Amino acid sequence: MAAVPLILLWATLLPSGLALPLPQEATGTREVQWEQAQDYLTRFYHLDSKTKDANRFTDKLKEMEKFFHLPITGKLNSRIIEIMQKPRCGVPDVAEYSLFANKPKWSSKVVTYKIVSYTSDLPHSKVDEIVAKALNLWSKEIPLNFRRIQFGTADIEIRFARGAHGDFNPFDGPGNVLAHAFPPGPGLGGDAHFDKDEFWTDGSHRGINFLYAATHEFGHSLGLGHSADPNAVMYPTYGNGDLKSFRLAQDDVEGIQELYGKRSNYRKR
Ligand code: SRS
Ligand code: CA
Ligand code: ZN
Ligand code: ZN
C-alpha cells in the first residue's frame, strides 16, 4: 500500500488527542478498526492481545455493550467504534465505575469500624490516622459517618494478615494481590484485609502506599466494584497515577453517590 492512503486513514480514524498504535500492515478500514477494537478491549476488558479467538473477542465486545447500555450485538458497529475512539484521558463523559450485582450498601447513616490487627511496617498511630483519612475521603462525598469502636462487632473490620487467614481467600505472599474487601453485609461483609507480606508505607518510604490501598478497599467495603477509568481509585490495579497527591476521581465520586446520594453542602467537612 502506498504511503499517502495510509496517512489519510490515520487522519480520518484518529480524533484529535487520541493516539492509538496502528498496525503497519493495515490494509483496510475494517482491519484497522478491528485492531483498534482489539487494543481497546485488551486495555479495558482484559482481552488477551494475542488471541485469535473470535468468540472471545465477541464476548468482550458484548461485555462492553452491556456496560455502555447498548443493544447486545457482539458486532463492531459505528456506536461502539465511536465510544472506543473517545479520548480516555481527562474526565470521562461516561460512567466507568461499577457496583456489585445486588447493589449492596449500608442502610444505617453511621457505619462502625474496628482495627483488629496491624502491620509492623508502620506505627499503630499512623495506621489509625491513615484509616480515618481514607474513610473520610469517601464520607465527605456522601451522607454517611464512620465511628471507630475498639470492642464488640463492627460493620467494617480491618486487619492485616498473611497467607490463609480464615476467609477462604488466602493471601499470596509479597506482590500480586495486595488486599481485599467484602461488599456491605453482615459477618465478613464490609471487612477489609491487607496482605501482611507487603511492605506498607505512608509514602515516606518505598513500598505499597497504605492510604491508596485503604481507600480502594473501603470503596469495596461501601459497595463499589471496579472502574474502567485508569484515573479512578477503584481501577483494579495499584500504582497508576501520582500516589503522593491522589484524591478520589470524579468517577469514584459519581459511583459512591449513585449508592448513597450527595452529602448536603452545609454539612460538608
Ligand atoms: S482488590 N481489592 N481489587 C486488590 C487490588 C490489587 O491488589 N490489585 C493487584 C495489583 O495491582 N497488585 C500490584 C502488584 C502486582 C503487579 C503485577 C500485576 N498484577 C488492590 C489494589 C488496587 C490496591 C492486581 C494485580 C496486578 C495482580 C497482578 C494480581 C498479578 C495477581 C497477580 C481484590
Ligand atoms: Ca500479596
Ligand atoms: Zn481476607
Ligand atoms: Zn479492588
Distance, CA 127 to ligand 4 centroid (Å)? 20
Please answer whether residues 172 and 211 qualify as being in contact, where contact means their C-beta atoms are separated by less than 8 angstroms.
Answer: no
Angle at 141 between CA 119 and CA 221, to 5 degrees: 40
**Percent of all residues in the chain with a pLDDT value above 70, rounded to a whole number:** 80
- For the chain, list the strands marked E by DSSP: 110-115, 145-148, 156-161, 179-181, 192-195, 200-201, 208-209
pLDDT value of residue 164: 98
Mean pLDDT of 43-54: 73
pLDDT value of residue 89: 41
73 or 104: which leads in pLDDT:
104
pLDDT at residue 23 above 70?
no
Distance, CA 138 to ligand 2 centroid (Å)? 25
| Cα–Cα distance for residue pair 231/229, rounded to 1 Å | 5
Distance, CA 165 to ligand 3 centroid (Å)? 6
- pLDDT category at 86 given cuts 50, 70, 90 is low
- pLDDT category at 252 given cuts 50, 70, 90 is very high
Domain boundaries, the chain: 6-86, 110-260
Cell numbers placing 147: 465511628
The ligand 1 atom nearest the CA atom of 180 = 2
Please answer whether residues 252 and 219 qualify as being in contact, where contact means their C-beta atoms are separated by less than 8 angstroms.
Answer: yes
Closest ligand (CA of 233):
1
Closest to 90 (Cα-Cα) out of 259, 196, 231: 231
pLDDT at residue 41 above 60?
yes
Query: Is the CB of 169 within 6 Å of ligand 1?
Result: no
Closest to 256 (Cα-Cα) out of 145, 156, 139: 139
| Cα–Cα distance for residue pair 240/246, rounded to 1 Å | 10
Output the residue whose Cα is nearest ligand 1's atom 17. Answer: 176
Query: Is the CB of 261 within 6 Å of ligand 1?
Result: no
33 or 171: which leads in pLDDT:
171
Residue 158, burial from CB neighbour count under 10 angstroms (0-12, 13-18, 19+):
buried
pLDDT value of residue 93: 53
Query: Is the CB of 176 within 6 Å of ligand 1?
Result: yes
pLDDT value of residue 67: 67
* Range of lowest pLDDT (5-9, 160-164, 197-201): 5-9
Mean pLDDT of 133-139: 98
Provide DSSP, 93-139.
SS----B-TT-----SSEEEEEE----TTS-HHHHHHHHHHHHHHHH
Query: Is the CB of 157 within 6 Å of ligand 1?
Result: no
**String of b and e for 88-126 (b: at least 16 CB within 10 Å)?**
beeebeebbbebbeeebbbeeeebbbbbeebbebbeeeb
| Cα–Cα distance for residue pair 261/269, rounded to 1 Å | 16
The ligand 1 atom nearest the CA atom of 172 = 31
25 or 251: which leads in pLDDT:
251
Q: Pairing relation of β-strands 156-161 and 110-115?
A: parallel
Query: Is the CB of 80 within 6 Å of ligand 1?
Result: no
Distance, CA 189 to ligand 2 centroid (Å)? 21
Distance, CA 15 to ligand 4 centroid (Å)? 32
pLDDT at residue 8 above 50?
no
Mean pLDDT of 48-61: 76
Tens of pLDDT, residue by residue over 180-232, are 999 999 999 999 999 999 999 999 999 999 999 999 999 999 999 999 999 99
pLDDT value of residue 57: 73
Phi/psi of residue 110, nearest 5 degrees: -120, 120
pLDDT value of residue 187: 97
pLDDT at residue 25 above 90?
no
Cell numbers placing 154: 463492627
| Cα–Cα distance for residue pair 244/265, rounded to 1 Å | 27
Tens of pLDDT, residue by residue over 92-130, are 456 899 999 999 999 999 999 999 999 999 999 999 999
The ligand 1 atom nearest the CA atom of 216 = 23
Residues forming the active site: 217
Fold of 110-260: Collagenase (Catalytic Domain) (3.40.390)
The ligand 1 atom nearest the CA atom of 178 = 7
pLDDT value of residue 144: 98
User: In the predicted model, what is the mean pLDDT of the chain?
Assistant: 83
